[in-house]
Structure 1
Amino acid sequence: MNINTLKGALPIAARLLAEKCGLKVRIGGNRACASSSEIVLPDLPIEVEKARVLGLGFVLHEGAGHIVHTDFESIAAMDLPVFTYRIWNAIEDVRIEGLVERRYAGANRIFTAMRETLSKDGLLREMSNASDLADALVTVTSHTLNWRQLKRTFFEAREAIAVQWLTSAFGSAFSDTYLTVIGKVQFALSSADAARIAVEAVSLLKQYADENADPDQDSSGRESDGQDEPNEDSSQGGSGGGEGGQPEDDGQDEEPGDDGAVPSPPVSADQAAAEACENGSAAGCDARSADEGKPSQGPADAETDGTGDTSSEQSGPADSGSNAEAKPDRDKSEGVAGSATDPDDGSRLGGGSQTGVGVQSGGGSAQEPVAVAEDHAGSNGSGDDGQLRAQANDPETSGLDLSQKATSRDVHAALGAGYNPGEDLGEIVQGMLSGMAAESEAPPVLSNAIPFTEEIEDNSEIVQRVKRESIALRRRLTTALEAITRTSSRDVYAGERLCNLGALRLSTGDLNIFERESSRSSIDVAIHLLLDRSGSMRVEERMTLAMDTCTALGIALGQIDGVQVATSAFPAGSGECDRDVLVLNRFGEAVRKRAGRIAAVRADGHNTPLADAMLYGQYSLLSTKATRRILLPITDGVPDSKEGVADVVASCQRWGIEVMGVGIGLDISGVIPNSICISEVADLPTQMFELLRKQLVLKRAA
């Protein structure tokens, strides 16, 4: 299957795409997340283009991209500083998306459409809304590589702006060297290669900072994170103003690294995992989310004063003994940022385990809680994309002056910057999908298929009961199903009409100067029958009539060359809200041999998930090769959601699936427009033939 021609409603397209990529996708709940074992998509509108683009993009980026190609264990072992990790993340996104595009035709179109959607919503990082130098450098890396390596025209103008700023801020020599270094991603064969490119790029920044250092700025100023007054008393770093203006010894032997300002240590792996489970409890999501293990964002309310200094209000200590039951209404993942420590410990990624599509952080304990970092993509309620949009467009955070030349102090502050979830593509899309799911009103769900094993061994009784109707159906439906007429022409020596080259052929002695047309009708049809087994079907022996109808149709259609039939019953169980289907026979299995299964079906379901079953029928039909596809529910027309049925009918029409219905004792045209109503099996041949004939005429007219 070509991704360019991927068909079906969003749940169907996502499952088909995941199967093609060798992934497992689960749909349900109100939160999107990804782990090394599966992709989880929430319940989303089935025919909203925005949801479709973001959902398929999430499967490709996180699933076919990061889960398949990113080696997080190697990255964790490299113990990257936070800012280096951010540069690596931008480079790795380009590397893995390039691999996905080369393997799956059409992936480029989905990736580009996903960025266009984010840009329209104000969630795509731009140079104009970069909050600081660190954000700008990550944006430059991403935009430049998206155009130069992946040739995405969407980034052509953005790349020009990014290169212009980089040259203005750092000079043409540095700009050319930096772009050359990150351009090595085209030769990167692994995540570790991409990480080494990021390390080399950061080394260039360190070299620039050292070469352009202010001679008046002594080492004490750098140790105090750019503070102009070394005597200022501060309790956050565990050090205070000493006698004679010298900082007191805080008992630590480590010296600050070259990165300048020391960021807060990342959230621990156990805490991130526990909070991810709390956020996903409402959706029943047992997978780790894609944002697990990302470096800590640092103080949530920190404000930059232009010199790389940050200030924030201290929050109280986190309750490490709380669990999911203690805070059931918690909506946001919270990470406690510790006090300033050695950059080689607290600011690095490593010492943790790999889960999901993130790297678990570790290698440093939080000594004194300073602030709480909010994970925008981890919220399971609505407003995730709104928070990210506010962060992207907030004038207070978009404080970088693009016209200013980068100073040594600015670069040191950037090297010590914390993690920013607003620039991570996976987290942004995850948050948008979760927000859309929270706002949608119970869309149809793609049912799970459960094999039906019960069977009446002697099925001759039911076959004989519908034998006459099945024979009549076969005779009359064969003509109605001949939907494809193939016409061909050839040149012959006798006929009534001359071909175009007849005169020229005579001059060469060729007597084949007449044209003869030949046509033949062929049948290539897949039909999925859906049998309603809800409790309402017990009224007036509707279930017996429905089983006979299903058996007669299945046997008659299955005996026509070129027709393949599958039958399913819904709901699968007897629970109050069961959305699964029972598979009676799949495409390729003869209905006559499985008639005993149809006879064993009982009307003991408590609900009628017709929309969900029809969505499964659409999935089954699109998974089968056929020129013509027909979905045919057999029901009494009392579904759980009429609006959901109407949505699925419209979706089927969009993707070329004809929907017809057989009403058992009741008129179901209000639910399925193209339908018939029968009160006995003897009515089936005539009415079914008229329905197919009418549908065929409409199809040819279209």
Structure 2
Amino acid sequence: MTNNLIMKSLPMVASVLGSKYGVKVAIGGKDAYTDGNTIHLPALPLECSETLIGLARGYIDHEAAHIRETRFDWLRLANLTPLEMHVWNTFEDWRVEHRLARLFPGCRSNFTWLIRHLFGDTSEKVADPAMAILNWLLLSVRAWDVPSLNGQRDDVGNFVESHYPGLTGRLNHVLEKVHAYCDSTQDCILYAREVVSLLKEKVASLPRQNGESKTGKSGKNGVSDELPLDALNRLIQADDIDLPEGLGEALAASLRKESPKELDESLRVARLGTKTTKPLDPEDVTATRRASIALRTQLQGLLQSSVLTRSMVGRHGRLDARQLHKVSVADARVFKRTGRKVGINTAVHILLDCSGSMRKRIKLTTQVCHAVAKALDAIDGINVAVTAFPAGAPSNGGNGNDRAPTVCPILAHGERMHDKFVVSATGCTPLGEAIWWTLQQMQPLTESRKIALILTDGDPDSFPAARNAIEDGRRFGVEIYGLGITSETITKLLPNHSRTINDLSELAPVIFGMLRGALVK
């Protein structure tokens, strides 16, 4: 799977970055947030623009940096005021991003793009001189990495100086220490308190004008009419709701705006859920063994012929009398050596539909699934896994509003084969979401070939979402096939890559006919 393709696909971006940073990333639900372990993105459009992927990538980088680096326990103990918290966040955002960029240099370009995208607009002017102080602090910090913001920073700084002479100079001394020495969450807390202390000192030093008071209430109507002292007093006493959004909040709001209202238009990735599995009954084991042996015999015969040795002509090996005529033309290729075709090196992931519509077919489906998995697992060079969908509630939590589709692994890649394949049939058919989850699991596998096999009987919850996942999967090099269980509905999604069976006895010839070309290609 080429990196260029992956970075243009939001689910794969989430998977790759999450694995790299050691965090979990979920896509689905209505909101963007972080619970301390998992970064949650809302359901997003099936067709993601470059800008949207850039925002999502930046959000993952930013929140992963906080999860890895911020000591939230220290922050809780500090008991900061809303203004101190806002200034702390400005400093801490920059600090944790720098720590992440040192570990993973590639994310530096993500942050640079994000800063330019969010802060590079010079058209909007802040009319409130006190709020302009926060804007100037933000631009000053971000200009350390993106010098193109220097002009905007200086314009805002001149505006602040016109109302609070000498303030930016004093604040610059703090910023110099932040840039040079800020190395922890505690450092950012101390420097944020120092900034707010300087603002309070400025309030005490400003001459009072008519209408101004120590309470910060001048009696004027509107921020533009407010006098500088009162504006600064109001800033110091501000609540959270009165202060600008932080970077994380601004990114979350941007992602929420992109979330589609209709399920058919949304891109979601299933999450790990829970589902009870039981061993197959003895009579089912006997039936699946027969089907599995028949399939394995056919596949092994096919694969054996694909790796037969053959003779090759070369410049070393055993002398081949039939090639001696080449000596007269100074061709040294007169030796024979044995060669071997490349053997199979394939990962196969089986998706088992156990939705409510499968109730009458679930016994046959689990038998088919076990027989195919067992036959493939017995062949050297095939790495097989099985995942059931849907499952129960997400095992990694959520904010209560997501109601995300789920999957439950029955057999993981690399796990020893077993017979606990019996599952109940209940719920909807989140096929697209399950395919995306499967693609995320297969992306880091080292096998040169990757195949997904869907066992199902009916339509997915969202046909566009399933089709989109299949198309993207193929772009990443994953071949996707479908096996209809007593139903030909799967042919609507996979018209040239699907078959149907009505009985376990049909399994071997049907699967062999469908996969023979894929396995030896």
Equivalent AA in structure 2 for residue 57 of structure 1: G
Equivalent AA in structure 1 for residue 411 of structure 2: N
Aligned CA distance change for structure 1 residues 566 and 477 (closer, same or farther; 3 Å): farther
The yes-or-no answer on 1:566 pairing with 2:385 is yes
Per-residue CA deviations over 1:625-660 (Å, capped at 9, x if unaligned) read: 332221110112322221221121123123332211
CA contact (8 A) 2:293 2:375 kept: no
CA contact (8 A) 1:84 1:199 kept: yes
Q: What is the CA-CA distance between 1:548 and the residue it aligns to?
A: 3.9
Secondary structure of the structure 1 residue equivalent to 2:458: coil
Match of 1:585 among 408, 411, 417: 411
CA contact (8 A) 1:571 1:609 kept: yes
Match of 2:471 among 650, 669, 676: 650
- Structure 1: which 5+ runs fail to align? 222-226, 231-236, 238-255, 265-298, 312-339, 348-360, 362-372, 376-417, 483-487, 498-502
The yes-or-no answer on 1:435 pairing with 2:257 is yes
Per-residue CA deviations over 1:296-321 (Å, capped at 9, x if unaligned) read: xxx9x94322633779xxxxxxxxxx
Match of 1:462 among 287, 295, 299: 287
Larger radius of gyration: 1
Equivalent AA in structure 2 for residue 303 of structure 1: V
The yes-or-no answer on 1:670 pairing with 2:489 is no
- 2:514 corresponds in structure 1 to 691
Secondary structure of the structure 1 residue equivalent to 2:296: helix
State the distance in 1 between where 2:60 and 2:198 align: 35
Q: What is the CA-CA distance between 1:425 and the residue it aligns to?
A: 0.8
- 2:399 corresponds in structure 1 to none
CA contact (8 A) 1:127 1:161 kept: no
- 2:371 corresponds in structure 1 to 552
CA contact (8 A) 1:526 1:565 kept: yes
- Structure 2: which 5+ runs fail to align? 325-329, 394-402
Q: Identical aligned pairs, as a percentage?
A: 26
Secondary structure of the structure 2 residue equivalent to 1:663: strand
State the distance in 1 between where 2:128 and 2:516 align: 67
Aligned CA distance change for structure 1 residues 168 and 468 (closer, same or farther; 3 Å): closer
State the distance in 2 between where 1:341 and 1:105 align: 41
TM-score (norm 1): 0.58
State the distance in 2 between where 1:517 and 1:636 align: 48
- After the TM superposition, which residues 221-370 of structure 1 pair with which residues of structure 2 at under 5 Å, given as runs? 221=208, 227-229=209-211, 256=214, 262=216, 302-305=222-225, 307-308=227-228, 346=237
Q: What is the CA-CA distance between 1:467 and the residue it aligns to?
A: 4.0
- 1:182 corresponds in structure 2 to 175
Aligned CA distance change for structure 1 residues 609 and 489 (closer, same or farther; 3 Å): farther
State the distance in 1 between where 2:426 and 2:469 align: 21
The yes-or-no answer on 1:478 pairing with 2:469 is no
- 1:162 corresponds in structure 2 to 153
Secondary structure of the structure 2 residue equivalent to 1:565: strand
State the distance in 1 between where 2:313 and 2:101 align: 41
Equivalent AA in structure 1 for residue 210 of structure 2: D
State the distance in 1 between where 2:94 and 2:192 align: 13
- 1:620 corresponds in structure 2 to 441
Per-residue CA deviations over 1:478-533 (Å, capped at 9, x if unaligned) read: 37998xxxxx9996487979xxxxx9xx9xxxx99999996640332211111223
State the distance in 2 between where 1:197 and 1:578 align: 41
Aligned CA distance change for structure 1 residues 182 and 515 (closer, same or farther; 3 Å): farther
Per-residue CA deviations over 1:269-314 (Å, capped at 9, x if unaligned) read: xxxxxxxxxxxxxxxxxxxxxxxxxxxxxx9x94322633779xxx
Equivalent AA in structure 2 for residue 142 of structure 1: L
Q: What is the CA-CA distance between 1:129 and the residue it aligns to?
A: 2.9
CA contact (8 A) 1:9 1:47 kept: no
Aligned CA distance change for structure 1 residues 529 and 262 (closer, same or farther; 3 Å): same
Equivalent AA in structure 2 for residue 48 of structure 1: C
State the distance in 2 between where 1:309 and 1:174 align: 13
State the distance in 2 between where 1:138 and 1:175 align: 11
CA contact (8 A) 2:295 2:375 kept: yes
Secondary structure of the structure 1 residue equivalent to 2:44: coil
State the distance in 2 between where 1:549 and 1:169 align: 72
The yes-or-no answer on 1:42 pairing with 2:33 is no
Q: What is the CA-CA distance between 1:93 and the residue it aligns to?
A: 1.4
TM-score (norm 2): 0.75
